[in-house]
Amino acid sequence: MEIWSEQTIKDFQRTLLDWYDKDGRANLPWRLNHEPYRVLVSEIMLQQTQVDTVLPYYERFMAILPTVQDLAQAPEEQVLKLWEGLGYYSRARNLQKAAQYITNDLNGHWPESADDLQALPGVGPYTSAAIASISFGEVVPAVDGNAYRVFSRLLKIDDDIANTKARKVFYDAILPIVDPLRPGDFNQAIMDLGSSYMTAKNPDSQGSPVRAFNAAFRDGVELSYPVKTKKKKPVKQQYMAIVSEKQGNLLFEHRPDKGLLAGFWTFPLVEINSIDEINGQQLNIKPIIHVFTHRRWEIWLVRQQLKPSENQQYLSSDDWQKLSLPTIQHKLLKALGELE
């Protein structure tokens, strides 16, 4: 691992921020100003989600819920509807809880340090540092996936970033490099660098503005960084999605309030162990496939009249179109429409 002198650190800061001022993504809507609410919403949406995916969600969300008080007072179903299709839905629920905590318990006064910001639900080590540096000028590194990748290459850090222990290694390595006068811009510049020149695949380290500081590139081993152990394959699960129709209404099932797609409505899903268990149905068609991070669902639509159980309910199209439905349910509804 490389150790930089104080002079190298100063040169790096100036090189990075000069580039950021010239070629950074200044037009991103959450960079319009540094109001903590705008930054908080953007950072939560951007967790494990690409910028291009977030953009339309962010614009719509801020237009409808422009202040932390608006979010605190909104019906949860409205917040979830604004989040529909974005995934990781606990983010939306936690975001509203954070807004309610700030509005009701702190009388609208924001925590200003990374340590205090971590008291907000859904705000962890990265997000707290991002808000603290961008909105309040605290000199802390916001260590996200970009920072792991960029600094693992610049400094040749060999720690496995899939390991929890790596977080402190990177934090300690980056902390003395953060620009003390512009910590928020420094952190965002690292992200811009990671999404442009220092990408995971096909990086352009030769053209990078900080190529002179890149030890892995210098040694011809940039693609060996970051060190990261592979994830497990998603487990296959097969389901029948029961289509039970009554007077034009469809039967929906409310999922448990914990676990995958918690609290969302889908067609009743019955897990099967082999396709052979389905008899007398038109199943010679391909299943609908939906892949989560850790599960792969294969689903066959099956028409069958059911008597609603306690967590099931017939809904008209006017009813279910108002709900926030997970993407798999939209896929099932689309497939059903194409059968008819």
Partner DNA sequence: AATTCGTGGGT
Partner DNA sequence: TACCCAAGAAT
The answer to whether residue 159 forms part of the interface with DNA (CB under 7 A) is no
Give the separation between CA 121 and CA 106, rounded to whole angstroms. 14
Indicate the helix (H) or strand (E) that contains 303.
strand 295-303
200 binds DNA (CB under 7 A): yes
If we measure between CA atoms, which residue out of 133, 81, 146 comes closest to residue 320? 81
Nearest approach, Cβ of 146 to DNA (angstroms)?
A: 4
Query: Could you say which residues in the range 65-124 bind DNA, by CB under 7 A?
Result: 85-90, 94, 118, 121-124
Sign of CA dihedral 54, 174, 10, 134: positive
> Distance between terminal CA atoms of the chain?
62
Least distance in angstroms from the C-beta of 305 to DNA: 27
Instruction: Give 51 or 306: the residue with its C-beta nearer to DNA.
Output: 51
Q: Smallest gap, in angstroms, from Cβ of residue 89 to DNA?
A: 4
Going 253 to 257 to 261 to 263, the CA torsion angle's sign is positive
Q: Contacting DNA (CB under 7 A), which of 103, 146, 244, 312?
A: 146
Please give the Cα distance from 270 to 239 (Å, whole number): 5
Distance separating alpha carbons of residues 297 and 291, to the nearest angstrom: 6
CB of 336 to DNA, least distance (A): 17
Judged by CB under 7 A, the residue of 22, 109, 230, 286 near DNA is 230
6-14, 151-159, 194-202, 205-213 -> range binding DNA (CB under 7 A): 194-202
Residue 126: closest CA among 191, 72, 71: 191
Give yes or no for residue 326 binding DNA (CB under 7 A). yes
Figure out which of the listed residues 174, 177, 261, 333 binds DNA, where binding follows CB under 7 A: 261
Give the tokens for residue 194: 């990671």
Is there a catalytic annotation at residue 43? yes
Kindly indicate which of the ranges 45-53, 105-113, 244-252, 273-281 contains the residues binding DNA, using the contact rule CB under 7 A: 45-53
291 binds DNA (CB under 7 A): yes
Cβ count within 10 A of residue 300: 19
2 phi, psi to nearest 5 deg = -75, 145
Q: Is 50 in the site for DNA (CB under 7 A)?
A: yes
Q: Taking CB under 7 A as the criterion, which residues in 210-229 touch DNA?
A: 228
CA separation for the pair 294, 236 (Å, rounded):
9
Q: Work out which of 111, 184, 194, 268 binds DNA, going by CB under 7 A.
A: 194
Question: Do 69 and 106 contact (CB within 8 A), yes or no?
Answer: no
The span of 6-14, 58-66, 287-295, 306-314 binding DNA (CB under 7 A) equals: 287-295
Total residues contacting DNA by CB under 7 A comes to 65
Please give the Cα distance from 154 to 156 (Å, whole number): 6
Q: In the bound complex, what is the minimum distance in angstroms from residue 106's beta carbon to DNA?
A: 16
Contact flag: residue 163 with DNA (CB under 7 A): yes
Q: Is 25 in the site for DNA (CB under 7 A)?
A: yes
Q: Annotated catalytic residue: which of 2, 6, 35, 43? A: 43
HEC-encoded secondary structure of 194-261: HHCCCCCCCCCCCCCCCHHHCHHHHCCCHHHCCCCCCCCCCEEEEEEEEECEECCEEEEEECCCCCCC
**Amino acid in position 86:** L
DSSP, collapsed to helix, strand or coil, labels residue 335 as helix
Q: Which of 22, 109, 231, 286 binds DNA (CB under 7 A)?
A: 231
Give bridge partners of residue 238 from the DSSP assignment: 272, 298
Binding of residue 28 to DNA (CB under 7 A)? yes
Residue 294, interface with DNA (CB under 7 A)? yes
Active-site residue set: 43
Which positions touch DNA (CB under 7 A)? 25, 28, 30-31, 42-43, 46-53, 85-90, 94, 118, 121-128, 130, 144-146, 149, 163-165, 188, 191-192, 194-195, 199-202, 228, 230-233, 258-262, 290-294, 326-328
